[in-house]
Structure 1
Amino acid sequence: MPISHRDLLNQAKGLAVPEEAVFRALVGRAYYACYHCCREWERTLPEPGKTRSSTKGVHQQLIERLQRPDKRCSKDQVKRSEWLARQLGTLRALRLRADYRLDERISDEEANAQVSLADAVFKRCDWGVKTGRQD
């Protein structure tokens, strides 16, 4: 097994841990940063998108709302919302692996790619907010 649950606790305690535990933490932090960033960006929309009534979990609900933006959104908001949904889904998939599949290796390349994608998500969210553009 690449890491154990004890490695995760040791990391929380600030003790020496395998490098992979650090990669897993990076993956998780990058995802959660994007989750909150996308949630904040969604608040700038005229109206949130829709979810299916059967959708469970606030994370999947946000992804679905971004996938299905409201008709009152501009073309740019729709395009951006759909792009953010895809990226957040990608980030979430690796975060789930990092948190729950301790027997599967998370590489430094995957962790670095997660952080790079998170940076792209932030830039895409910030562009519309900073410029005030809504179209």
Structure 2
Amino acid sequence: MISIEELGAYGRGLVASDAPEVQLRTAAGRMYYAAFHRCRAASEVHCNELPKEDSDNKGSHQKVYARLERHCRNTAISDRRLRLICQRARDMLELRVRADYHINDTFDYKAAREMQSLLFQLNREFAEVDREIQMGAAC
């Protein structure tokens, strides 16, 4: 079994300025899935299920982000922060789709570094969520 942190670290470790494009594309996928699994785990712990009308016509990834953005039951967590996390995850999804499906377009070191930056920012926001939860529990 692999942890979310290990998946992200593996993806980050694949990014190098002299890496072949296939390696950079693989890195993007691993980093995206680390972010997705982090969002999914948070939604399972802190959020209510999506109502049917909110889940119709949405893929599994979009359902996770909708649940996290609009159905969080933990009042200690800032809605603004959850929206920011979901926006970062959606930006990562867009890059991952580019890496996985647009093989005739170049996916370069700059794109892989952008994915690294987004993952770093998403993880930083989740660290703030953890602090908000601790502070809320302390009140």
**Sequence identity percentage:** 25
- TM-score, length-normalised on structure 2? 0.71
Q: Whole-Å Cα distance in 2 between the matches of residues 29 and 79 of structure 1?
A: 26
Provide the secondary structure at the position in 2 that maps to 1:133. Answer: helix
Moved more, 28-37 or 50-59: 50-59
- Which residue is 2:80 aligned to? 79
Provide the secondary structure at the position in 2 that maps to 1:83. Answer: helix
2:47–2:71 contact (8 Å) kept in structure 1: no
2:21–2:107 contact (8 Å) kept in structure 1: yes
> Which digits, 9 at most, give the CA deviation of each residue in 1:102-134, with x for residues without a partner?
011112111011011101111211333256134
Q: Whole-Å Cα distance in 1 between the matches of residues 136 and 97 of structure 2?
A: 33
Provide the secondary structure at the position in 2 that maps to 1:103. Answer: coil
- Which residue is 1:65 aligned to? 67
Root-mean-square deviation (Å): 2.5
1:69–1:81 contact (8 Å) kept in structure 2: no
Q: Does 2:113 align with 1:107? A: no
Q: How many residues align?
A: 117
Provide the secondary structure at the position in 1 that maps to 2:48. Answer: coil
- Which residue is 2:11 aligned to? none
2:28–2:112 contact (8 Å) kept in structure 1: yes
Q: Which has the higher helix share?
A: 2
Give the letter for the 1:99 counterpart.
D
Alpha-carbon deviation of 1:83? 0.9
Specify every segment of 5 or more residues in structure 2 that has no aligned partner in the other structure, as ranges: 1-18
- Which residue is 1:12 aligned to? none
